[in-house]
Structure 1
Amino acid sequence: MDRREIAALLAYIGRLDPRTTRTDEGEAREQLAQWHHLLGDVPMATPHGWDALAVARHHYRTSPYAILPADVGRPWESYRRERLARHSDPTPTANPDDQAAYTAELVGNRRAVAAGTAQPAQALAITSARDGMDPALKARLKAIGSPIPPAARAALAPFRPARAAREAAVEQGLPDALSVRCEWCLAQPGEPCRRRRISPNDGVRAITPRATPHPGRLDLAAAQQAQSTEQAQQPALA
């Protein structure tokens, strides 16, 4: 606040509490200088929730004591801390290789949030619900059928053969072998089967993932799929 805003604040406080009014010109000038020195970096109001007049009014609604500069400065510091605590730095538009510009944009955004001239940027929460998904993203996902486009999936297939084999089996209507636990290598559901290399003294030398599941795991998945299909048909038959 500049000196004129401090004078307006003191005049408002004087209407709420005549005890703070200084009738002597020298005392009034000294009071104005003191408040300006302590609250010069505190704004009168911001577009996002801060109002020094409202702070003064709240003070006299909850306290019988005369207001002091700290009674305005303390809520302002709390206001700044609360806003910065809710702020997640968005990625600057400046070139990351230009460290000075990149840092300056980060600092400028934080100062604007702390000063109340900009709203805190909050990181979006990760959610599994698709109701709140962007309509354009939902339409694209419906068109391609998967978060991974087919071209990218095909390009990744050589680097994850177990996943590619699983997806190919599901597309052909075959049972998903990775949906059950392998009784041979003890791989848990969702994990590929493993190949053990045995040393001459019968110790396990290494364990590597298999591109294809063990035959027994395929049989177990097929039996489970048949059982699920039979259970699903029973209510319809009834």
Structure 2
Amino acid sequence: MTPREVAALIAYVVKLDPRLALDDQAAAAERLAQWCDLLSDVPAQAHGWDAARTARDYIARNPYRIQPSDVSRPWHTHKADQIGRHVGTFEPTAHPEIDPDDETGDAYVAALRREREAVAAGRIAPVTLRAITAGPAAAEVERRLAALGEYMPPSVKQVLAEQRPRRTERERAAVEGRPDPLDVSCIYEHCLAPVGEPCRNARRQVRTKPHPTRLDRAAAHHARRQEQETAA
């Protein structure tokens, strides 16, 4: 939240709980600074989230004076729940820039990540697809899904996965929120594989696993990305 949004939230909670009113300007400024610091990564509103409503619910249910952490903790819980329910799928026609024949899968992976970041920030709703398996038609839905898979028959999907193992693994890492070694270049002196290319041994043969140094760099890169996502 911006300082203006935090100030509006404080004014709202003071209206609901007059005990929080402060006559001393210095104390009020100090409280505003504290709330701004603790709520800097919390949006005022997002998909399924409203900071004012969270504050109101807390005041209605608790006899204790509200603290900024009583708003920030529910936001991070809500954010984790949104990401946890998101299955990482999207409508392909909404991404015409993606080449379906791109063996590297870079554009697809990037689109998945942008989508996860948008879900985490509350800009879009998570895509769960699980609701279609509820209700009286659940048995029929499960039968069809078992035969068809998500977008293609499981047998076809398995063949494609075997033919494109690197792309399959990168897509799986993006969906599961794991570090992707191909996001960074390899700095091992006998390899120096660029971003998007697999590691190679001294004979320039493709390795089945990235070099350990590349895995470490990918983990650090992933951690920085998550920090930026949290701060967004």
TM-score by length of 1: 0.49
Question: Which residue type is aligned with residue 69 of structure 1?
Answer: P
Measure, in 2, the Cα distance between the counterparts of 1:104 and 1:6: 33
Structure showing greater relative contact order (alpha-carbon pairs closer than 8 Å, 6 or more residues apart):
2
RMSD: 2.7
Matched residues, percent identical? 42
Structure 2's unaligned 5+ residue stretches are 145-152, 154-232
In structure 2, what is the Cα distance between the partners aligned to 1:49 and 1:61? 20
Q: In the aligned structure 2, how far is the partner of 1:77 from the partner of 1:17? A: 24
1:16-27 maps to which residues of 2 (within 5 A)? 16-27=16-27
What is the CA distance between 1:123 and its match in structure 2? 3.8
Q: Residue 50 of structure 2 corresponds to which residue in structure 1?
A: 51
Report 1:9-48 matches (<5 A).
9-46=9-46, 48=47
Q: Supply the distance in 2 between the matched residues of 1:74 and 1:22 (Cα, whole angstroms).
A: 24
One-letter amino acid matched to 2:56: R
Per-residue CA deviation, residues 137-163 of structure 1 (Å, 9 max, x unaligned), is: xxxxxxxxxx9xxxxxxxxxxxxxxxx
Quote the residue 2:74 is aligned against. 75
User: Greater CA radius of gyration, 1 or 2?
Assistant: 1
Query: Match of 2:127?
Result: 121
- Which residue type is aligned with residue 9 of structure 2? L
**Cα distance, 1:89–1:24 mapped onto 2, change above 3 Å:** same
What is the distance in 2 between the residues matched to 1:23 and 1:97? 65
| Partner residue in 2 for 1:86 | 85
CA distance in 1, matches of 2:110, 2:45: 25
Tell me the CA shift for residue 100 of structure 1: 4.8
Taking the aligned partners of 1:122 and 1:58, their CA distance within structure 2 comes to 27
Q: CA deviation at 1:60?
A: 1.2
Report the number of matched residues: 132
Question: Structure 1 CA distance, aligned partners of 2:38 and 2:105?
Answer: 35
DSSP 3-state at the match of 1:129: helix
Counterpart secondary structure, 1:68 = coil
Q: How does 1:121-140 map to 2 (within 5 A)?
A: 121-123=127-129, 129=140
